[in-house]
Amino acid sequence: MINHRFLRIASFVLILIILTACGGTPAPTVEPTSAPPAEPTSTATPEPSLGSSRVNPVDGAVLVYVPEGDFLRGSDHEQASFMEKPQRSIYLDAFWVYQHPVTNAQFAAFVETSGYQTTAEDAGWSWAYDGDSSVEMEGAAWQSPAGPGSTIAGMDDYPVLHVSWFDAQAYCAWADGRMPTEAEWEKAARGDDGRDYPWGDSPVTGERANYCDVNCPFEWADADQDDGYLGPSPVGSYPAGASPYGALDMVGNVWEWAADWFSEIYYEFSQEDNPQGSSSGDARAVRGGSWYNKASSMRVTFRHGFPPDLTIDMLGFRCVHPEVD
């Protein structure tokens, strides 16, 4: 019996051999199918938004993002002083703010790199708490906060103390930033909704801020609260006191220098877009209160002014960076 299937296959093979030998058209070659080209990968930096953070490569500080827009500055509460009034809407460009005050470790790196000498070191003394009150203490400076023989060993994450406005300005410039304006400080501390404290409108407690509480020997102490410290505390110790942008220690722990000249009536006549403070004065603005102060000083609208060369163990600072580098 003839195998017809075998004959068909043999005939097909013979035809291919003949065509190839005679220079006929060869069998088509099938190219392997290639994968579609990959989509280009974007190298653009994502746009920052509420909740964004980044690290400053100069000093390792974490910065949190404060978006552009309006916020309610000042207070119309009865307990507010005339310096906090009126409350009005203020516009600010976006900026980045240090999540917490500059620490001893960060300031030590600045001094080691730059050879900088602080105002207190030049003067040979600074204001310091001696157990009863603040006194002019010889030898007190950022690395010897309680005077001769004291050190900051084991206190790397505590806020640097005994720094003047000039010292703060020098550090922020070294860190490729600048000092915050009063308006920037207040928005970073309270958000845009006019709240009394970084966490909202509920009262100050020992879980939210380091202020004059049961550990404090003064008559204005809040004996019903315990924040765990008599003096300064490590930065970031009170996450329950965070601002809407994630900034910590905005009230309590240490006062913080602002860039502005201080004017008691500035809120009455300031511009409404990116205000820069008074054009001159005898004092620079400080904000936030400290471990030494009572609960009412923890309001984010509480304002004060200190001479720019003042150094004391309840005063520190933080820096800001613009949105676009």
DSSP track, 54-94? EE-TTT--EEEEE-SEEEEES---TTS-GGG---EEEEE--
Residue 47 DSSP SS3: coil
17's CB contacts (< 8 A; 6+ apart) are none
Task: State the CB neighbour count (10 A cutoff) for residue 149.
Answer: 7
pLDDT tens digits, one per residue of 232-242: 999 999 999 99
275, 180 contact by CB (below 8 A): no
The residue among 73 and 13 whose pLDDT is bigger is: 73
> Which contiguous run of DSSP H or E holds residue 17?
helix 4-21
200, 211 contact by CB (below 8 A): no
All structural domains of the chain:
53-322 (3.90.1580.10)
Task: State the CB neighbour count (10 A cutoff) for residue 140.
Answer: 29
pLDDT at 242: 98
Rounded to two decimals, the pTM is: 0.85
* Secondary structure tally for the chain: helices H, strands E: 6, 12
62, 177 contact by CB (below 8 A): no
pLDDT at 108: 98
pLDDT tier, 22 (very low <50, low <70, confident <90, very high otherwise): very low
Please state, rounded to an integer, the average pLDDT across all residues of the chain.
89
147's CB contacts (< 8 A; 6+ apart) are 128, 137, 138, 139, 140
CA 168/CA 318 separation, integer angstroms:
8
pLDDT tens digits, one per residue of 78-87: 889 999 999 9
